[in-house]
Chains A and B, each alone.
Chain A
């Protein structure tokens, strides 16, 4: 089946620094990737949608300058949290979809900003 690898699974960073999270589709070409944020015991909140080679489309209220998304190839998308602050601490999850209609999720990244 389709596999999406997300890395790192956990990261702790100092306030003011930037953190990059990678999302890779291992066995299929991901034409579209999605980035979600999830707070404890809450549902997934879509942050942005990215198509390979295009600028990401951000959901209302998501700061595009803080959450930089790059989808440079059909197998890799990255989310960079710039100038991270404690309120950015959260669980970030990517998902990918290819030519068939289905979504595969990564295993998530727990970001803690101290």
Chain B
């Protein structure tokens, strides 16, 4: 019930393309859904987060789409750039403040 399933495991996109990463959760008590970007040897950095009272949130080139009934959420990276190449983690949190992480997606954006 605490799992967060993330796909794909890896993704290769051409520069300028759209990168899409999907996550699904099981625990309906989760009420906070962040996405993190991690570069090698660094800690995760918050990209964007959403709460279940909205279906979409956009910040610059990053958009979260949230489907409460399906218990799914996704990250869209528009106009992907080589500098976006990193590992992306979705996560889900509940009122006890613990975050449950997906297994990560290694994104490679080719020039």
Contacts and interface: CB of A to CB of B under 8 A. Distances in A.
Contacts of A42: 103-104
Interface stretch (B34-42, B56-64, B67-75): B34-42
Contacts of B41: 91, 108, 110
Contacts of B106: 41
Contacts of B43: 6, 93, 95, 105-108
B104 A102 contact: no
Contacts of B45: 105
A43 B104 contact: yes
Contacts of A105: 36, 43-46
B103 A43 contact: yes
Interface in A57-102: 91, 93, 95, 97, 101-102
Interface size class of A (residues with CB under 8 A): 20 to 34
Contacts of A34: 98-99
A104 interface: yes
B70 to A, nearest CB: 22
Contacts of A110: 41
A6 B42 CA distance: 11
Contacts of B34: 103
A42 B45 CA distance: 16
Among the interface residues B34, B99, B103, which one has the most CB atoms of the partner chain A within 10 A?
A: B99
A79 B23 CA distance: 31
Interface string A11-38: 0000000000000000000001010000
A32 B97 contact: yes
Given A32-B97, A49-B98, A102-B49, A108 B104 contact: no
